[in-house]
Structure 1
Amino acid sequence: MNSKPIQIKKEGPSDYERLRDEALVMVQKLSGHIWTDYNIHDPGVTMLEQLCFAMTDLRYKTGFPIEEILAGPTGHIDPKAHAFFNKGEVLSSGPVTTTDFCKLLLGQVVGVEQVWIEPVVAKSGSTICKGIFKVLVQPDESITTTGQYDQLKEDVKGCLMRYRSLGENFEEITILRPLNIAIKAAILVDGKQHVKETLAYICNTIEQTIHPPVRFLSEAELLAMGKTTEEIYSGPLLSGGFIPDEDLKPLRIQVDPAELIKAISSLDGVLQVKYLYLSLDGNNFSNKQVRIPSGYFASVDISNSMNDISIVSDQFEHHSQDALFWNVFERIKEIRKRHYTGQQVAMIDTTLQSTYRDLGKYYSIQHFFPAIYGIGREGISKDETDARKAQAKQLKGYLLFFEQVLANYAAQLGNISHFFSPAEKSTYFSQSLDDVPGIAQLLDPGYLDALPQTGESNERKEAVLDHLLARFNLPLLPYPITLFQRLYGGISTLEWKAGLLKKLPDLMYARIQAEAGGYQEALRQLLFIHQEQGERLTAVFEKSHLSITNDHPSEEFTVYISDEILHVVSEIPPDEEGYYFGHQPLHLLKYGIDPVHYRIVENHDHYLVLYKSPGQRIWQAVARHTTREAALAAQIAMIRHLKNISIQSEGFYVVEHTLLKPLFTDPVYGFRVKNSKGEVLKEAHHLTFVDREKALEDVSGHIEFFVMATPWHVLPESFFKFNITIVLSAWPARCQYEEFRRFTESLFRDLTPTQYKLKFRWLGVNDMRKFEAAYFDQDNKDKILDFLT
């Protein structure tokens, strides 16, 4: 058996000679029986050689580096025009993990020195705490000196709630208070060291050991540390730089003198730590560990007089902290806590530059023909016969067919940036043959106007956009936009995809964030819903001049049209123009936008616009006008108005059950202990979450947990665990199609994390008004719980 691997030979370069030889072979096969002279002087060979030369030139242009092909006249490559996104936009994301949220607070909230975020855990097995986190914040000196703890708590809460993930909540936020620890120590140092500088380094090391600062590093530093680009840009993008994961230390619950001695001993010039004692009151010093009580963080104030840190050198002992000491101490402190404030801006403002080649310019091959042909810039001699002049013009016209193909190829290459641009609809590009000598004698000026009209469809551009969107694992199903276009018009699938591509970085960054601009905005964009944030879906009926009820008594009559009899009911007031649909069901919004359900008939001295939905027997007179033209205009206006009502009222609300849970500090938690028969053995009410945990320590058996969400709503804990209710408007035309409802629910499930259980409620106008009254009343949970339960 031959073990030699099979290799596929690659063809050689498409140079001019090979192209010419292959072309001659093809010509000989096609016309060898009628054309036998293939020598270099043959005019056919000359034309073939010029075409081969032009094709070789196009191949040469195509071989330029892609950055030179994309560069504009100034050498700049516009990222937006080419759908280029920088690494910060495509690799980063909104905060997801607790580490991400810690970095977010450190980078966005002024006054945060360190932060710890932990999930709330119930030892009893209760599941109500799923998705609930507690936050501990260590403030910096600007907060501890001014005492602005409440303001810092509000800032932290606002930041977390703005970026929180779907179904999660940050309920307990604690701003830790400093617990000052006094230090008494004697350190033996090398006499060759500068005493004040050594003391400054020792004091700084003590501070760094007890609460090391968080560093903001540059991308270059992290790359040098062995981090990959994907690791660096994982998580939220911060304006100050990047925070290494290893800088997020666990919360210190004790201070060990042995740890401080080890850190001090590692400094250059330190020979021995003779002793090191700690104290909380400045009097009772000990070499034992100091425990940090809950609600506090360990702090060391070097300037505090309770500290007694001495340096022993050459039998001399030094205690003083003069100006030299403080200069060195502050300088060391600042260097270790430096921030790269321009890191993100510099990354985003990075420009793409290359050499501009002007590849779209076409130079006619007729310039290269021998002068005897008479088709170049010099043209043919005036002394030639008319027949000879006609032959030259005929040759020029013959060559135009080839030249247009060559020129269009150059135009395509020169417009490659527009090919990928979301803002550009065309994918085929052409140009006129302005460089051909004497072109005005051959082509009518109308040719230039007709040339760009290639009859290009949108399918080719859509395929380009699909390719660009697929880079981000975002395959789009066009069903919602095609249904929108069929019912309402005004938008194409191409425009929808181009708009999505432009918004893609923001949508992907915040795709699971619960607040505005995240999860909900992504769904609105994919479903092409125009809902405004904070706008009630039923508000359109308050602003609409559509009348669905009328106090004017109805009038029934019959209209005869040729051999057809129409039974009509009218509620239009006398001598009034407008449109009145009377008491119509909501499927008016579905069928009322289709002209086939209308008739314009003459009745006495007026023209009536009649409407009838499928299945109805009687026509409804919805408008009356004196002329047919006015009636037709009223029909068009009615249809447009009904479409606008549907478009403006399409939307949904997301109700996160987690946010409806009472605070853990509220005395509303209880439990029941049941036997195997389901009989209650023990029951407790009105406990806080912590008190209930203590009460359950000695209880075993069948336990049922419940929460008194309000005095009228005693709910099982499972109601709050990863449950989300999606409330949608059922009346818009698109939403009345069962296929659209199924598609919408499926899309919600695809974009929602799998641990959440979704429940869908499609509501009519009246039910939606009741729900909105409860939804927008943030201070009263009774109404929303009434709706959900």
Structure 2
Amino acid sequence: MAASIDPNLVLPPHQDFAALSTEAIAFITAQPGNAWTDVNPSEPGVALLEGALAGLTDLGYRLDHEVADLLAPAGAEADWQPLPPIDQALPTQPVSLDDLQKTLADHPLLNAASLLPVAGAAGHYQLRLTPIRALSGAEQAQVKQDVWRRFQAARPLGMLLDTIAFLSEAKLKLYPELELAEDAPVEATLAALVISWRRALTAPPVYLAAADCLAAGQSGDAVFDGPLLRQGVRQSQPPAPTQVLSSQLIDLALAIPGIAQVGSLLLGDSDGRRVDSAWSWTVPDGSFISLDLDALLPWWAGQQTLPKQSYDPLHRKGQRLRVNLDQLKALLAAPTAKPASPAALPAPFGRYRRLSDFPAFSQGLPPQFGISASGLNPAATPAEQAATLQLQAYLLLLEQQQSDQAAQLENIRRLLELPAGDWLGRLRALFVRMLASEALSAADADQFWDTVRGLPASILRQGAQPLPLAEQLLTPADLPAYRQAGGEPVLEDVLSERWLDRTLRRLQHLAARFGETLPDAALLRYRGVFGYYSPLLLASRHAPALDPDTLTRRLASLKQALDLAGFLLAFPRLSGGRGQGADLAAALHSRSGLELRVAARLGIALDDGDLSLGNREGLYLVEGALLTPGLAMLSEPTVPLANSVFWILPAYGSRLGDPSFRRLVEQAICEETPLHLTPWVCWLAADELNQMEKLHRHWRAKWREMGGPAAPDPDKPCSGKPCPDSPPGVWSRRKRLQDCSAALQRALLQAAFPLGDAAWQSHIAVSQLDANFTVGYPLVPQRRTVAFGRRIGDPTQPYVVAFTPALPLND
């Protein structure tokens, strides 16, 4: 079909050349004292006006390109990606029981996984695995280890896995009498029947590639809803049946091409000994169906018969058929389907439009204007040549503005992409030191301003190209610089008010695209911190001419921009793992998604150091459910421990010592903590935090021992006493974990409820911890304050003295 122009097309105002021309002429002629009376198209002023309007409508046309075209990369940037790809931004870690069961069942040897709550132990679960077939002992051990690690990596907050067990195999024996159609291949027909029966009885999971799901019409939100599975997108389907009906099996058999009739069908768990009225078979509780091919295939091959059997199991037109048993087994052993690939989807790039290529409209003027690429008219008088250069200079102002807009339109990809560059890490490290009240040297100040000069520009410009009379209009020294950058490289100086405002609005826009907002810099109390460092930074020889108050305000805005940049760069983890607990089995200092998210919102940097030995900001999260690891449950009549999370923070520091900032921290914690959990915030002084960190590190180390490579089989909790068949050291590790959990639990309750019952006081002294809970790593150093009046950060008068004695491995 030929393309045609819609006669009723209504152009938007920024593309309607005629409407813009009429409006411009009406505006000019309406000006008081206007001597311009000739507005015919041949009038030179009208020609100049229409040339400028042509450039404006061209920019308007470019603005209406598809967003994919505006963001399309050039050929040299084909791998450019502005935001996290769809398979990183949309999926999340498991947030529901169904999500977690899908994640744990995402294994080539598993059909399903069921999490069952442990009676009387909130937050504790038992895992029951349904294999796709009967597994060997080695396969079961490997699957358990894989599932255990997967649970620890994807564990939601407040959940603990006590046991892992496989469902027992329930073999179903089938003895069908079949009439095959003429010319039907025997082995291929029987293999198709076995595969159909096995699929109906076991309901194996079906995985599809994400690209195939999208091509089938499923939305991206539906395809990437929940966790991203390794085998692809799991499709919804009915579960495996709990009762097998012979009528359903007969219908499936008759649906196979080549099977003409089913004469009889015996089913059950014995060798065909059943009453004739039994036409169903119930799967035993705690079992999965397994089609007994060891009985079916030899029966078809004539190697086995049933009691009182007087018929042939396979025949065609009354003649008995022979079966090649080896060929049939080979057909059944062949893979029936290729596993789906969860490969990342390609970025939906559009067509690259070269938006910065914007020709100056003066080159299209009629020859009568004297402006041409060949230069000035040699026959013109000096006065006429000067008038032509003057006209070119006046037009350059408008042409430069339009060319700059085209350069910024080309730069829209950079404005809408995630922040990048070395300046992020350098500034973040410096701000962490400032928030920790550390002293800065003159070299630190010089490095700060060197980094500031390398901040990315917020506005770009370019010279008007081609400029017909550029050689005559500009001096030889100015012409190269103008053609390279348009006179000036940027319109907004970095760290200026306009640069900060534009940068913040750009980053806030990117965060809003994900439905995220971060607190304002005023709420984060940055100015009170940076006001102390502004005079030092301004003392640098590289510092611009600013007053300390202005620099303090701009530093607060810059730190807020860094917070937004860090939040966007870590968005897949902060968003998808917002309800995820720490992987205690992976590392001693692993963090939960909730910790990372709250810290990112508040501009708090998290690391592995000890908070009690300085003035650094930080926090810890302890899940109440993990304090009772499947052994003797501790009773707290007023605090439901399994539904609680404890936040540990220092009650001192530049910001954390401010009561208003503490209220902001508590508000953020309440907003981000999942609704089924109750947060308890423990604000601790330096000495109290020092003791709490010691307990917390010992407790994490015990969890690391229980969940590391030497972890015992998690399906043997031993009910609080040694298991007879436990490996050496398992019981001692469990007992030490229980004791350390009790000590940390009581310390947390005492910190959260300092006026509570004295029975909550820990019965394990610090000296006992030093002697009995060593794990081969340095203890949290002891804190010893010095005399009153000494300054923090003075190297000649240290505020604390730390020592870390070497400790032997005690297992």
* Fold shared, TM-score > 0.5 on shorter chain: yes
- Is 2:339 aligned against 1:339? yes
Match of 2:386 in 1: 390
Q: 1:784 aligns with which of 741, 744, 749?
A: 744
Match of 1:91 in 2: 90
**8 Å contact 1:218–1:241 — kept in the other structure?**
yes
Match of 1:368 in 2: 364
Deviation at 1:265, TM superposition (A): 4.7
The one-letter amino acid paired with 1:432 is G
Cα distance in 1 for partners of 2:174, 2:50 equals: 92
- Give matches, 1:723-734, under 5 Å: 723-734=644-655
Q: 1:452 aligns with which of 469, 490, 496?
A: 490
**Secondary structure at 1:377 match in 2:** coil
Which stretch shows the higher mean deviation, 295-304 or 359-368?
A: 295-304
Deviation at 1:243, TM superposition (A): 1.0
List per-residue Cα deviations over 1:99-153 (Å, max 9, x = no partner): 322321233x453x2223234264xxxxx54433321112355x72353423322
**8 Å contact 1:120–1:133 — kept in the other structure?**
yes
Cα distance in 1 for partners of 2:218, 2:355 equals: 40
Cα distance in 2 for partners of 1:59, 1:740 equals: 47
**Secondary structure at 2:681 match in 1:** strand
Match of 1:329 in 2: 332
- Give matches, 1:581-600, under 5 Å: none
**Structure number, greater radius of gyration:** 1
List per-residue Cα deviations over 1:172-197 (Å, max 9, x = no partner): 22123434444444334445533333
**8 Å contact 1:216–1:338 — kept in the other structure?**
no
Match of 1:432 in 2: 463
**Secondary structure at 1:80 match in 2:** coil
**8 Å contact 1:507–1:517 — kept in the other structure?**
no
List per-residue Cα deviations over 1:652-674 (Å, max 9, x = no partner): 111111112242xx5x4xxxxxx
Cα distance in 1 for partners of 2:373, 2:199 equals: 81
Cα distance in 2 for partners of 1:129, 1:721 equals: 8
Match of 1:507 in 2: 574
Cα distance in 2 for partners of 1:432, 1:724 equals: 59
Match of 1:271 in 2: 261
Distance 1:788 1:23, change over 3 A: closer
Match of 1:653 in 2: 620
**Secondary structure at 2:294 match in 1:** coil
The one-letter amino acid paired with 1:19 is L
**8 Å contact 1:199–1:325 — kept in the other structure?**
yes
List per-residue Cα deviations over 1:747-786 (Å, max 9, x = no partner): 1111111121111001122212211222222322221122
Cα distance in 1 for partners of 2:55, 2:323 equals: 86
The one-letter amino acid paired with 2:602 is L
**8 Å contact 1:71–1:355 — kept in the other structure?**
yes
**8 Å contact 2:174–2:296 — kept in the other structure?**
no
List per-residue Cα deviations over 1:556-604 (Å, max 9, x = no partner): xxxxxxxxxxxxxxxxxxxxxxxxxxxxxxxxxxxxxxxxxxxxxxxxx
Cα distance in 2 for partners of 1:733, 1:67 equals: 45
- Give matches, 1:169-188, under 5 Å: 169-188=160-179
Q: 1:413 aligns with which of 404, 409, 419?
A: 409
Which structure has more strand as a fraction of its residues? 1
Match of 1:522 in 2: 597
- Give matches, 1:242-391, under 5 Å: 242-246=233-237, 249=239, 260-268=249-257, 269-279=259-269, 296-304=287-295, 308-309=299-300, 310-318=313-321, 320-331=323-334, 334-335=335-336, 337-341=337-341, 344-345=342-343, 347-348=344-345, 350-382=346-378, 384-391=380-387
- Give matches, 1:38-117, under 5 Å: 38-74=39-75, 80-81=81-82, 83=83, 85-107=84-106, 109-111=107-109, 113-117=110-114
Distance 1:10 1:379, change over 3 A: closer
Which stretch shows the higher mean deviation, 51-60 or 448-457?
A: 448-457
Which stretch shows the higher mean deviation, 286-295 or 157-166?
A: 286-295
**8 Å contact 2:519–2:602 — kept in the other structure?**
no
List per-residue Cα deviations over 1:202-235 (Å, max 9, x = no partner): 3333322332321212346546877544322211
Match of 1:29 in 2: 30
How many residues end up aligned between the 2 structures? 607
**Secondary structure at 2:55 match in 1:** helix
The one-letter amino acid paired with 2:419 is A
Deviation at 1:484, TM superposition (A): 3.9
Cα distance in 1 for partners of 2:165, 2:267 equals: 30
Deviation at 1:441, TM superposition (A): 5.0
Cα distance in 2 for partners of 1:182, 1:60 equals: 72
Q: 2:149 aligns with which of 146, 154, 158?
A: 158
Distance 1:206 1:26, change over 3 A: closer
**8 Å contact 2:267–2:281 — kept in the other structure?**
no
**Secondary structure at 1:147 match in 2:** helix
Distance 1:299 1:732, change over 3 A: same
Distance 1:135 1:273, change over 3 A: farther
**Secondary structure at 1:417 match in 2:** helix
Deviation at 1:468, TM superposition (A): 2.2
Cα distance in 2 for partners of 1:441, 1:306 equals: 96
Match of 1:134 in 2: 126
**8 Å contact 1:531–1:651 — kept in the other structure?**
yes
**8 Å contact 2:175–2:296 — kept in the other structure?**
no
**Secondary structure at 1:93 match in 2:** coil
For the aligned residue pairs, the C-alpha RMSD in angstroms reads 3.3
Cα distance in 2 for partners of 1:225, 1:450 equals: 52
Distance 1:443 1:477, change over 3 A: farther
**Secondary structure at 1:328 match in 2:** helix
Cα distance in 2 for partners of 1:743, 1:442 equals: 60
**8 Å contact 2:112–2:129 — kept in the other structure?**
yes
Match of 1:209 in 2: 200
List gaps (5 residues or longer) in structure 2: 1-9, 301-312, 421-455, 534-554, 583-590, 703-736, 750-811
Distance 1:480 1:656, change over 3 A: farther
**8 Å contact 2:73–2:349 — kept in the other structure?**
no
State the identity as a percent: 22
Distance 1:535 1:321, change over 3 A: farther
Cα distance in 2 for partners of 1:175, 1:374 equals: 90
Q: 2:562 aligns with which of 492, 495, 498?
A: 495
List gaps (5 residues or longer) in structure 1: 1-8, 123-127, 542-644, 669-706
List per-residue Cα deviations over 1:509-563 (Å, max 9, x = no partner): 212111236222212221222212x54333xx3xxxxxxxxxxxxxxxxxxxxxx
Distance 1:170 1:385, change over 3 A: same
The one-letter amino acid paired with 1:137 is L
Cα distance in 2 for partners of 1:266, 1:192 equals: 17
Distance 1:215 1:438, change over 3 A: same
Q: 1:196 aligns with which of 173, 187, 191?
A: 187
**Secondary structure at 2:653 match in 1:** coil
**8 Å contact 1:76–1:352 — kept in the other structure?**
no
Cα distance in 1 for partners of 2:235, 2:521 equals: 44
Cα distance in 2 for partners of 1:54, 1:225 equals: 44
Cα distance in 2 for partners of 1:183, 1:28 equals: 97
Match of 1:595 in 2: none
Distance 1:370 1:31, change over 3 A: farther
Match of 1:675 in 2: none
Cα distance in 2 for partners of 1:428, 1:93 equals: 36
Cα distance in 2 for partners of 1:53, 1:227 equals: 44
